[in-house]
Amino acid sequence: MSLIGLDIGTTGCKAMVFSDEGAALGHGFREYEVISLDTVRHEQDAERVWKLAKEAMKEAVQKSGVPSVHALSLSVQGDAVIPVDRDGNALAHTLLGMDYRSKEQGDRCGELFGERELFERTGMRPHPMNSVTKMMWIKESLPEIYEKADKLVTYADFILMKLGAPAVIDETMASRTMLFDLKEKKWSQQMLEQLGISEEKLSRPVPSGEIVGKMRKELVEELGLTGKVLLVAGGHDQTCAALGAGLVKENIALDSHGTAEVVSTAFDAPRLGGKMFDSYYPCYCHAKSGMYFTFTLNHIGGILFKWFRDNFCEKQVEEAALLDGNAFRLLESRAPEGPSSVMILPHFNGSGTPWCDLDSKGAIVGLTMSTTKYDLVKAIMDSLTYELLINLDRLEHCGIRIDTLRAVGGATKSPKWMQIKSDITGKAVQTLVVSDAACLGAAMLAGVACGVFSSIDQAAEQCVKVKSCYEPEPGRAMRYREKYEVYRDIYPTLRDLNYRL
């Protein structure tokens, strides 16, 4: 039996067809636009996203050569809100998760319910990112759209409706809205009443992995498929990627290193205490039923390398063009071994967790006349990993221990960086055979639902394969630990100066 995992990201969608052993048989990708009206307002054409998602699925099916697909599930970007009519058609542009025009509504939620109380109930701190604040903004600023809307949906329920399911939302996405009672596993009636939002405007929450319908017959034909395709509730992209990396038990984390760097992990009971709250770590449902989920965030990941390359490495870019065209590989190959004497505070867009200090700035410290650009390349790799370790240490302070890191994203192409991550964190760092973990995780949910796998644990055991493993080298690890003690003091030392700047 074959399965489809569909990943709806912020700037593009990917569809993949998998065998029942987790082998990738075909994939399709389409890119789409974010409409940025200013620094605060970021929208998207949801109907165009759906059109391109269909194209990606059709391409994946064609490339796979497998017209018979048993089930489909999906992984979606978080927090976006779309007003739709009774037929599931968008009535206005999507308000993306990065759209912060609802800051006033977020602040009001904090005042109405209390910031700590909100976190203890929903696992989410008040923030304009959260879906409920966008629903409030639509009601207050677009009253005609709100009244006309049959539902206010996320991409999870929007895409499922387009595929042929009724209005349902998986619990991972529902629990990210800041309107979902995490312990009761249902919409908070008290919040709905106080905010004046009708429950009829919301989709019905269901667990990830539940069969919610069948693909529309005309869509089956349009995609080049045959037979019936079961539709299965999926999950937030971070939780699906975690499944696709085998995070079905505690003490393992997924290090997703792209433009930003996100480290996510799962645990068996909700963690809603003060330490989690103070560290800005959310707590919401994992795509594996019965488990809960959190993640750390560094806004600046691989994009820091790009900034450095584009501003300071013109000659190296020209040199790389005569070789394999990869300037990153050239720069990294010339970076010195061992801990760099130079350190970079990567707060070029404010800091991520555990401080979430929007006023923090980037800094380069330790420069001398002998510093070269290759020292700075090494400093980028070291410092981003120190930032990662700060969050791992803080997670442990919250009672969440990580023993193993599984890495996906652009950094996994660099064995040197993977070894640095292991040396600095003192953890085993593993890369995976299937790096498109979100699509694989969604396909695993589909497979469990239709009986291909007996459980999500068995799906992970069968589908998730480790490609390579890096272990810390004791001597280097000790020297990095000494440097880390210095790095930890950079942000607190510069904080007041950055406010003055």
pLDDT band at residue 501 under the 50/70/90 scheme: confident
pLDDT band at residue 325 under the 50/70/90 scheme: confident
Convert the pLDDT of each residue in 408-431 to its tens digit: 988 899 999 999 999 999 999 999
Convert the pLDDT of each residue in 329-380 to its tens digit: 999 999 999 999 999 999 998 999 999 998 999 999 999 999 999 999 999 9
Query: What is the reported pLDDT for 391?
Result: 98
Query: What is the reported pLDDT for 97?
Result: 94
Q: Specify which of 35-39, 142-146, 316-320, 321-325 reaches the highest per-range mean pLDDT.
A: 142-146
- Number of other CB atoms surrounding residue 432 within 10 Å: 21
Q: Enumerate domains of the chain plus CATH numbers.
A: 2-236 (3.30.420.40), 240-299+403-473 (3.30.420.40)
Task: Calculate the alpha carbon distances from 465 to 161, 245, 437, 469 in Å.
Answer: 33, 8, 11, 11
d(CA 156, CA 170): 7
Q: Return the axis-axis angle of helices 415-425 and 474-487, rounded to nearest 10°.
A: 70
Residue 21 has pLDDT above 90, yes or no: no
Convert the pLDDT of each residue in 131-145 to its tens digit: 999 999 999 999 999
Q: What tokens does 188 get?
A: 């908070």
Residue 258 has pLDDT above 90, yes or no: no
Residue 299 has pLDDT above 90, yes or no: no
Convert the pLDDT of each residue in 181-219 to its tens digit: 999 999 999 999 999 999 999 999 999 999 999 999 999
Determine contact, residues 239/276, Cβ cutoff 8 Å: no
Long-range contact set of residues 139-144: C-beta below 8 Å, sequence gap at least 24: 139/196, 139/197, 140/105, 142/83, 142/92
What mean pLDDT is predicted for residues 444-467? 97
Q: What is the average pLDDT value for the chain, to the nearest integer?
A: 96
Query: What is the reported pLDDT for 1?
Result: 80
Determine contact, residues 290/268, Cβ cutoff 8 Å: yes
Amino acid in the structure at residue 162: K
Lowest mean pLDDT among 62-71, 227-236, 300-309, 436-445: 300-309
